[in-house]
Structure 1
Amino acid sequence: MASDHGVYRIIEPMADRSSTNDPSPADGTIGDGATQHVGSFRYLLADDTWEWSDAVARMHGYEPGTVSPTTELLLQHKHPDDKEHIAVVLEAVRSVGKPFSSRHRIIDTAGQVKHVAVIGDRLLDEDGTLLGTSGFYLDLSDAFEEEVREGVDLAVNALAESRAVIEQAKGALMLVYCISAQHAFEVLAWRSQETNVKLRTLAEQLVADITSGPGTEAMSRAAFDHLLMTLHERVVGD
Structure 2
Amino acid sequence: MPGEAQGLARPVESDTVRPAEEVLGTGRSQSAGTFRFWLADQRWEWSDEVAIIHGYEPGTVRPTTELLLSHKHPDDRDQVANTIARTVETGEPFCSRHRIIDTGGVLHHILVVGDDMRDDNGDVIGTSGYYIDLTNALEEDRRQTLDGALPELYSARAAIEQAKGALMLIYGITEDQAFRVLTWRSQETGTKLRALATQLVSEVTTLDSSMVELRTRFDHLLLTVHERM
Question: Which of the five TM-score ranges fits, normalised by the shorter chain?
Answer: 0.5 to 0.7
- Letter in structure 2 aligned against 1:198: T
> Which residue of the partner structure matches residue 52 of structure 2?
58
Are residues 1:125 and 2:139 paired? no
Report which structure shows greater RCO (CA 8 Å, sep ≥6): 1
SS of aligned partner of 1:208: helix
Are residues 1:179 and 2:173 paired? yes
Equivalent pairs, count:
198
> Which residue of the partner structure matches residue 84 of structure 1?
78
TM-superposition CA deviations, 1:62-106 (whole Å, max 9, x none) = 233332211121122122333233223223334553334433221
Q: Is the 8 A contact 2:115 2:219 kept in 1?
A: no
2:211 is matched with which residue: 205, 210, 220? 220
Percentage of pairs with the same residue: 47
Cα gap change, 1:91/1:24 in structure 2, threshold over 3 Å: closer, same or farther? farther
2:202 is matched with which residue: 208, 211, 227? 208
> Which residue of the partner structure matches residue 198 of structure 1?
191
Return the alpha-carbon distance in structure 2 between the equivalents of residues 56 and 166 of structure 1: 28
2:37 is matched with which residue: 43, 46, 51? 43
Please report the TM-score for the alignment, with normalisation by the length of structure 2.
0.67
Return the alpha-carbon distance in structure 1 between the equivalents of residues 39 and 132 of structure 2: 23
SS of aligned partner of 1:63: coil
Return the alpha-carbon distance in structure 2 between the equivalents of residues 52 and 40 of structure 1: 6
Q: How far is the alpha carbon of 1:29 from its aligned partner?
A: 1.4
> Which residue of the partner structure matches residue 75 of structure 1?
69
Cα gap change, 1:199/1:62 in structure 2, threshold over 3 Å: closer, same or farther? farther
Q: How far is the alpha carbon of 1:109 from its aligned partner?
A: 0.4
Q: How far is the alpha carbon of 1:197 from its aligned partner?
A: 5.5
Return the alpha-carbon distance in structure 2 between the equivalents of residues 89 and 232 of structure 1: 20
TM-superposition CA deviations, 1:99-151 (whole Å, max 9, x none) = 344332211000122232323332223421112012322323348xxxxxxxx
- Letter in structure 2 aligned against 1:29: L
Matches within 5 A, 1:102-141: 102-141=96-135
Specify every segment of 5 or more residues in structure 1 that has no aligned partner in the other structure, as ranges.
1-18, 144-160
1:29 is matched with which residue: 24, 27, 30? 24
Q: Is the 8 A contact 1:115 1:141 kept in 2?
A: yes
Q: Is the 8 A contact 2:186 2:196 kept in 1?
A: yes
Could you say what the CA RMSD is over the residues aligned between the two structures, in angstroms? 3.5
Return the alpha-carbon distance in structure 2 between the equivalents of residues 72 and 103 of structure 1: 18
Return the alpha-carbon distance in structure 2 between the equivalents of residues 131 and 97 of structure 1: 8
> Which residue of the partner structure matches residue 9 of structure 2?
none
Return the alpha-carbon distance in structure 1 between the equivalents of residues 212 and 223 of structure 2: 19
Cα gap change, 1:29/1:167 in structure 2, threshold over 3 Å: closer, same or farther? farther
Q: How far is the alpha carbon of 1:37 from its aligned partner?
A: 3.5
SS of aligned partner of 1:62: coil
